[in-house]
Amino acid sequence: MYSIQPSCWSEHGELTAVMLCAPSCLDVPDLKTAENVQWSAPVLHARAMENFMELKGTLQHAGVKVIDYSTELQGEAKQLSEQLLNRYFVRDLACVFGNQMLPGEAGSSIRRPEYGHAHALLEKWFPKNFQASKETGDVLEFGDVMVLNKDAVLINIGVRTSKQGVDRVKEKLFEAGFAEIGIIDLPRSSDTLHLDMNCNVANEDVVIAKSFMRYFPVYVMTACSTRFDMAEQFFNRHGFEVYWLEKYNTIPDINFLNLNPETLLVSKKATKQQFKNHPLLQKKNIVEIEVTELEKGGGGIRCMTLPLVRKL
């Protein structure tokens, strides 16, 4: 058990504790294999580990407590986990809403084992905050979820998250103190797999989003009513200007992480000029790390990190 009390009320507060997972011990040796496991290119384990250690070290240097759950597994669970290619994409496994942590449910069969491994550990570490649930088929991966602020959560239903998955957790979100849950239904493609491949919070009052999202409505639920907004109006009502991107390289440009209100952790492949072009982001401290080998798995820095504690 760790002496950490999970608490997250935003995507942009100071990150003080995070869960990671080292990449599996396997290489993905050729393009055909990569395509069959839905990766973009072959991957060498040694290079992936170098990327992971740079990510971990950068977080620790910034004062973030890092828990690598792969080091806590034992026996058969450890042997299996070391062969699970996608296990380092920990964002999907669970999410901290306010002071409670809710479990995800895999939207892809290749990822189901790692959910069980992580949930067993989280329940052990944080018994007052987390309780693993039985699989129901109501899939919910938390790469599809953004905790915008203390009032609002945005969730994408699509390839990996279902409306039934949202219904399974919505009452717990209202009980946690959130006033609104916005549901958006984005296109189902490899380039729009999760919400955080389409938009991200870049500042306490700025969301970066692919320009096509302006055409999509958001179904807004409160504890006692429902309504529709367009995406931009939903963000605006909750205090965010939307910085629309017409051109982007999906994973490095969208999938970054807020270290604190002044600092963004981004891939070395990210287009840094996009931040300089927005007046509210020009003074951001941009920390770049090499994660190219890990990004070949189809996700970025946000996908690889599960925030446990963010300061208000």
pLDDT in tens, 157-198: 988 999 999 999 999 999 999 999 999 999 988 888 899 999
pTM of the model: 0.96
Is the pLDDT assigned to residue 35 strictly greater than 70?
A: yes
Query: Residue 76: is its pLDDT beyond 90?
Result: yes
- Which sign, positive or negative, has the C-alpha torsion 197, 151, 231, 138? positive
The answer on pLDDT for 133 being more than 90 is no
pLDDT for 177 equals 95
The pLDDT score that the predictor gives to residue 135 is 83
Cβ atoms of residues 274 and 245 within 8 Å: yes
Question: Has residue 1 got a pLDDT over 70?
Answer: no
CB 280 within 8 A of CB 205: yes
Residue 152 has pLDDT above 70, yes or no: yes
Structure tokens at 27: 């290489």
pLDDT exceeds cutoff 70 at 114? yes
Mean of pLDDT values over 198-215 = 98
C-beta atoms surrounding 20 within 10 Å: 20
- The mean pLDDT value of the chain amounts to 96
List of residues 6+ apart from 72 with CB closer than 8 A: 121
Q: Which residues pair with 68 in a beta bridge?
A: 20
Residue 122 to residue 134: CA distance in whole angstroms? 15
pLDDT score, position 248: 95
Contact 287, 81 (CB under 8 A): no
- Torsion, Cα of 303, 137, 95, 68 (10° steps): -60
pLDDT digits (tens, 9 = 90+) for 249-304: 999 999 999 999 999 999 999 999 999 999 999 999 999 999 999 999 999 999 99
Q: How many C-beta neighbours within 10 Å does residue 71 have?
A: 10
% of the chain residues with pLDDT over 70? 100
Q: Average pLDDT for residues 89-105, to the nearest whole number?
A: 97
The CATH classification number of 15-310 equals 3.75.10.10
DSSP assignment letter at 258:
E
If we measure between CA atoms, which residue out of 205, 84, 85, 186 comes closest to residue 143?
A: 186
